[in-house]
């Protein structure tokens, strides 16, 4: 999952980034003003945007209006010190999906982020089951045929993303865009390495592949489309 935080209070943004990276191994980008935020949101495929309202250059509400007018469907969570009911209603009616008031609880924010990301892929249940693999997105636990499988942060990140889009062909570039922030170096061959190690850990054999490779197209978790 890849998240954009648009927040002018750098410390708060850094703390959220740290937690999302450490706990969820999500890729996070930070913008400290509305103008940068709009540019980043328009040029990268984010799974979630955390948006402050009192932003320099372009205000949060204005920015959100702008993004929605351009047809962007990424979930937006407003994180602001404005606690007036009218502000909350305005935020939600402008197109945000959730609203949190500062000071917030970090765990609650994480849980909400997770729920929003899950929903954006049309998934209601936190546990995804595909071909004998059970992925608990809340606990970050992966079970394969009743056995707990230990995955590295990057392996889990990849598996979760593929699981969210199970049954779809996901290109390598797509994976790279959703798993790395703008600041991390990404090489598409690294994706292959992680796919390879995932296959090993999920005990796939020649006849029962969990992650299918479609040449020149990408990967599919579960049954590939006909």
Residue ranges in contact with other proteins by CB under 8 A: 8-12, 15-16, 18-19, 22-23, 32-33, 54, 56-57, 81-84, 102-107
- Cis amide bond preceding 103, omega within 30: yes
Shortest spacing between CB 89 and other proteins, in angstroms: 16
Shortest spacing between CB 13 and other proteins, in angstroms: 9
- Per DSSP, helices labelled H in the chain are 10-24, 34-43, 60-69, 85-94, 106-120, 153-164, 172-179, 188-201
Of 22 and 223, the one with the shorter C-beta distance to other proteins is 22
Whether residue 74 contacts residue 44, with contact meaning beta carbons closer than 8 Å, is answered with no
* Bridge partners (DSSP) listed for residue 135: 128, 142
Q: How far apart are CA 32 and CA 52, in angstroms?
A: 9
Please measure the distance between the N-terminal and C-terminal CA atoms of the chain and give it in whole angstroms. 27
Of 74 and 80, the one with the shorter C-beta distance to other proteins is 80
Of 33 and 174, the one with the shorter C-beta distance to other proteins is 33
Of 9 and 223, the one with the shorter C-beta distance to other proteins is 9
Shortest spacing between CB 157 and other proteins, in angstroms: 18
Of 17 and 137, the one with the shorter C-beta distance to other proteins is 17
Shortest spacing between CB 182 and other proteins, in angstroms: 20
Shortest spacing between CB 8 and other proteins, in angstroms: 5
Q: How far apart are CA 61 and CA 212, in angstroms?
A: 42
């Amino acid at each position: 999952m890849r998240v954009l935080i648009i927040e002018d209070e750098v410390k708060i943004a850094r703390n959220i980034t740290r937690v999302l990276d450490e706990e969820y191994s999500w890729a996070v980008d930070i913008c400290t003003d509305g103008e940068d935020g709009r540019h980043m949101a328009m040029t990268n495929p984010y799974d979630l945007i955390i948006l402050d309202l009192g932003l320099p250059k372009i205000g949060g509400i204005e920015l959100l209006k702008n993004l929605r007018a351009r047809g962007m469907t990424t979930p937006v969570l407003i994180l602001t010190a404005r606690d007036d009911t009218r502000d909350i209603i305005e935020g939600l009616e402008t197109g945000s999906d959730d609203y949190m008031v500062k000071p917030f609880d970090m765990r609650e924010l994480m849980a909400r982020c997770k729920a929003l990301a899950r929903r954006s892929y049309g998934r209601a249940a936190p546990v995804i089951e595909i071909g004998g693999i059970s992925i608990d997105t809340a606990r970050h636990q992966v079970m394969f045929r009743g056995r707990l499988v230990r995955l590295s942060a990057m392996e889990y990140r990849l598996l979760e993303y593929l699981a969210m889009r199970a049954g779809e062909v996901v290109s390598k570039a797509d994976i790279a865009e959703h798993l790395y922030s703008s600041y991390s170096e990404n090489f598409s061959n690294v994706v292959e390495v992680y796919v390879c190690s995932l296959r090993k850990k999920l005990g796939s054999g020649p006849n029962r592949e969990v992650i299918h490779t479609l040449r020149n197209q990408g990967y599919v978790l579960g049954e590939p489309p006909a």
